Structure 1
């Protein structure tokens, strides 16, 4: 009887590994931010751009115990739009005025993916995210451009499922947004671009 229960459980896990998981990857804000001096004089709009050349159709893939890839894990939400909305929200928290007529911040997401690392007794979900951020002044000229990278890890997992990938990806998204909005050069570039109007 016990052998039958183990067999049924293993078959269930195998079936799960062959089924596509759809997960939402929301932005979860980090610590409170301090208002940037002069930010209230700068109006800004943020847009998200799809810039991924690989893994555009998924954010991870399940693996079996041998590390072989199985079913895809896909995001149910628009990742570039979600990240851009997060950047806009945090710029607002920094004191920038959000709206048309000022500078434009383009967030081009170039990577957003989780890879499972299989260990002897457990594994890790390791996500990485990157984006190219551009500030375009009210005059239409590029005022700033920079590449950002961040990661997130969900350690000691037992299954390579969407729920574990989701946790690592949420951390990677939060860390990426933090790297962008805490960049003093970006903060200054938005204010200077507005002044050059």
Structure 2
């Protein structure tokens, strides 16, 4: 009797895990703005922020759940468009530094080339690895391009579950690293004033 009960519980657990891995996961991708201080003179600089999708693969999802064998299962999708996540994150970072973000001044455009999380299995825990790739351009008020750079951010974490929440957290960390690189580039800062 006891062995039948244990077998039943084990089977129920496996079915539950399979159901999770076979159901699409739609999640928010939160972004935590850095604690950077204001850039001197930024309060006098107006900036417009835009983004576009230049991904050649995985445009409809930000990752996939995997089973215990590492086989890809159901898709993980973002609640809002990836381009909106990136645009809003760049705008938030610029505001944090004192820039006036609106519809005038230099135009910052971020082409999203990669925004994806991969899971892998391990002995006691799995790994979540996120890659964010952007091509950032700045055009001045006259429409001339004054800055172009490919920016990348990668983050990796140990996880117990290959689910949407873990994918979103790792992607948020990768986006933070990419934007830290962008905001720390003196050429980008200089391009905003041209």
Q: TM (normalized to structure 1)? A: 0.91
In structure 1, the partner of 2:129 is 126
The aligned counterpart of 2:112 is 109
1:171: which partner in 2? 173
Partner of 1:37: 40
My pick for the range that moved more, 95-104 or 21-30, is: 95-104
1:181 aligns with 2:186: no
Residues 27, 83 of structure 1: 8 Å contact kept: no
In structure 2, what is the equivalent of residue 10 of structure 1? Answer: 14
- State the 1:70 CA deviation: 0.8
Where structure 1 has 5 or more consecutive residues not aligned to the other structure, the ranges are none
Q: Give CA deviations for 1:105-131 in whole Å, capped at 9, x if unaligned.
A: 001111000000211221111111010
What SS is found at the alignment partner of 1:25? Answer: coil
Output the CA distance in 1 between the equivalents of 2:96 and 2:11: 53
Residue aligned with 1:166, SS: helix
Equivalent residue runs for 1:150-161 within 5 Å: 150-155=153-158, 157-161=159-163
TM-score, L = length of structure 2: 0.92
Q: Is the 8 A contact 1:127 1:165 kept in 2?
A: yes
Q: What is the CA distance between 1:5 and its match in structure 2? A: 0.5
Q: Pick which of 106-115 and 80-89 moved more.
A: 80-89
The separation in 2 between residues aligned to 1:41 and 1:28, in whole angstroms, is 25
Q: Give 1:63's aligned residue.
A: 66
Contact 2:63 2:75 in 1 (8 A): yes
**1:76-133 per-position Cα deviation (integer Å, ceiling 9, x unaligned):** 1111112111111211221222223311000111100000021122111111101011
Partners of 1:126 and 1:4 in 2: how far apart? 34
Q: Are the equivalent residues in 2 in contact too, given 1:112–1:127 (CA < 8 A)?
A: yes
C-alpha distance after superposition, 1:4-63 (max 9, x if no partner):
111111111111111111111021122x21222332332111011111111100000111
Structure 2: runs of 5 or more not aligned: none
Change (3 A) 1:163 1:97: closer
SS in structure 2 of the partner of residue 174 of structure 1: helix
